[in-house]
Amino acid sequence: MTSDPISVLIWNENVDETRKPEVRAVYPDGIHGALAKAFERDGRFAVKTATMDEEECGLSEDALVGCDVLMWWSHHAHEAVPDTIVERVRRHVLDGMGLIVLHSAFMSKIFKALMGTSCELKWRNAGEKERLWVVAPGHPIVEGLGERIELAQEEMYGEPFDVPPPDELVFVSWFQGGEVFRSGCCYRRGRGRVFYFRPGHGTYPTYWNPQVQTTLRNAALWAARRAARIDGPPTRFGQHAPLEPLG
């Protein structure tokens, strides 16, 4: 039996690519274009991209209903996403849509809404080495990886990272400058699964790294809405009739 491909929607604010030649040099088709390349030759996935300049930021009800996993990259324009759209995305996550939050999207409205904390961290952009250590061997998100991923140049994010303790922690990063960071954090919110994955500063070729691409595909498989579908009928809340006579 073959199952339908997992529908992956890659969303990017697409601002750095239009303003900064150094980002365009690494990602000529945009960060979303590079992320899509990690999926498009794999028959398990059907991938689409969307950017903020589209109608309803490319995140219409129709787009989200058909989406098993939404991948989110943003940096400068977090506040430009209307609250009504953030709430729409949040509702779909609670109803089972997977969400993968990348790099600087730790400050996106949707991530902060789902975490309930400031999501603040330390940062430094000095092009230093990053080692992402796998701290959950056997987790589906690290299938096919070795014990670590090494990136020759990345921006540093340092602890403390003001997020709730993750349900599962998959990667811990070490940086050349001495800091450490929880770089792969899994959360369940409602029926949905959320994965925060740290690397991906726009001036470094991180999303072309084959191990990073493997991680992104694994994360999409882990987070996909189909897990919520298997769980049965829609969740019911509110006033509820007794199943047995009470009087």
* Residue in the shown chain whose Cβ atom is closest to Zn ion: 201
CB of 201 to Zn ion, least distance (A): 4
State which residue, 109 or 201, has the beta carbon closest to Zn ion.
Answer: 201
**Which amino acid would we find at residue 47?**
V
Query: What does R_g of the chain's alpha carbons equal in angstroms?
Result: 18
CB of 129 to Zn ion, least distance (A): 16
State which residue, 123 or 174, has the beta carbon closest to Zn ion.
Answer: 123
* Among residues 104, 173, 183, 209, the one that binds Zn ion under rule CB under 5 A: 104
State which residue, 68 or 155, has the beta carbon closest to Zn ion.
Answer: 155
CB of 222 to Zn ion, least distance (A): 24
Q: Which window, 11-19, 28-36, 97-105, 228-236, contacts Zn ion (CB under 5 A)?
A: 97-105
Residue 120 tokens read as 């603040």
**Which amino acid would we find at residue 75?**
H
Neighbours of 134 (CB within 10 A): 19
**Nearest CA-CA partner of 216 in 4, 73, 50:** 73
Given a contact cutoff of 8 angstroms between Cβ atoms, the answer to whether 81 and 108 are in contact is yes
Per-residue contact track with Zn ion, 119 to 158, x per CB under 5 A?
------------------------------------x---
**Nearest CA-CA partner of 103 in 198, 16, 209, 26:** 198
Nearest-5° Cα angle at 168, 163 to 169: 70
Please work out the total of residues on this chain that contact Zn ion, with binding judged by CB under 5 A.
Answer: 3
State which residue, 104 or 213, has the beta carbon closest to Zn ion.
Answer: 104
State which residue, 157 or 222, has the beta carbon closest to Zn ion.
Answer: 157
Interaction residues for Zn ion, span 182-211 (CB under 5 A):
201
CB of 8 to Zn ion, least distance (A): 22
State which residue, 75 or 193, has the beta carbon closest to Zn ion.
Answer: 75
Q: In whole angstroms, give the CA distance from residue 243 to residue 179.
A: 55
Q: In whole angstroms, give the CA distance from residue 40 to residue 190.
A: 29
Greatest extent of the chain over all pairs of C-alpha atoms, in Å: 74
Q: What is the contact surface with Zn ion in residues (CB under 5 A)? A: 104, 155, 201
